[in-house]
Amino acid sequence: MLEERELVAVFVALAVCGFFLMNRGKLAEVPHSRLLIVSIGLLTASLVCSVIEVFVWEDTANLIQHTLAPASAVVLAIWSWLTFVRREGSST
């Protein structure tokens, strides 16, 4: 059964992706922006899979969803480390 919160989450994630696309010039100024974009893309794909699993490929979409979400978190953690922690360590 499709839950409203899952659908809302997909729309919000797609809106964030659209915002990133519209501001890709400014986003390129962010250090390691490709990792940030990959993280958001993985999270969006995970959320889309949560909606898809209601209609088709339940087990496969569920597996993909639960693989992409932590992958997104790992990529975001790497981006955060490269952007903030590593930068602070290199300035001393």
Per residue in 28-85, pLDDT (tens digit) is 899 999 999 999 999 999 999 999 988 888 899 999 999 999 999 999 999 999 998 8
Residue-level pLDDT at 2: 76
- Output the pTM of the full model: 0.82
Residue-level pLDDT at 39: 95
Residue-level pLDDT at 14: 93
Q: What is the DSSP letter of 30?
A: S
Domain count, the chain: 1
Q: Supply φ then ψ for residue 7, to 5 degrees.
A: -65, -40
Residue with tokens 């590593």: 86
**Rounded to whole angstroms, how far apart are CA atoms 70 and 78?**
12
Question: Range of 56's domain?
Answer: 4-90
Q: How far is CA 8 from CA 2, 3, 29, 82, 92, in A?
A: 11, 9, 30, 31, 44
| 30 closest CA partner among 87, 72, 69 | 87
**Rounded to whole angstroms, how far apart are CA atoms 90 and 66?**
35
Residue-level pLDDT at 54: 86
